[in-house]
Amino acid sequence: MQHYTEDGYQAYKMGLWSPGPGCHGGCGAEIYLRDGKVVKVEGDQDHPYHQGRLCPRALALRQYIHHPDRLHYPLKRSARTSKGEQPSCVKHCQASTMVYGDVTELAKIMEEKPHCVLLTPR
Q: Please give the pLDDT value at position 114.
A: 58
- Where is pLDDT greater, at 45 or 82? 45
As a whole number of angstroms, the distance between CA 15 and CA 25 comes to 8
Mean predicted confidence (pLDDT) in 87-101: 85
Instruction: Provide the pLDDT for residue 109.
Output: 76
Domain at 2-66, CATH class: alpha beta
**Mean pLDDT computed over every residue of the chain:** 79
CB 3 within 8 A of CB 10: yes
Task: Tell me the pLDDT band of 120, cut-offs 50, 70 and 90.
Answer: low
How far apart CA 77 and CA 29 sit, in angstroms, is 36
Tell me the Ramachandran region of residue 103: left when phi exceeds 0, alpha when psi lies from -120 to 50, beta otherwise: alpha
* Backbone phi, psi, residue 43, to 5°: -75, 150
Helix count and strand count (H, E) for the chain: 3, 6
Q: Where are the domains of the chain?
A: 2-66, 75-110
Question: Over 80: is that where the pLDDT of 113 sits?
Answer: no
Q: What is the pLDDT of residue 5?
A: 86
Say what the pLDDT of residue 115 is: 62
Which residues sit opposite 40 in a β-bridge? 32
8-state DSSP, 112: S
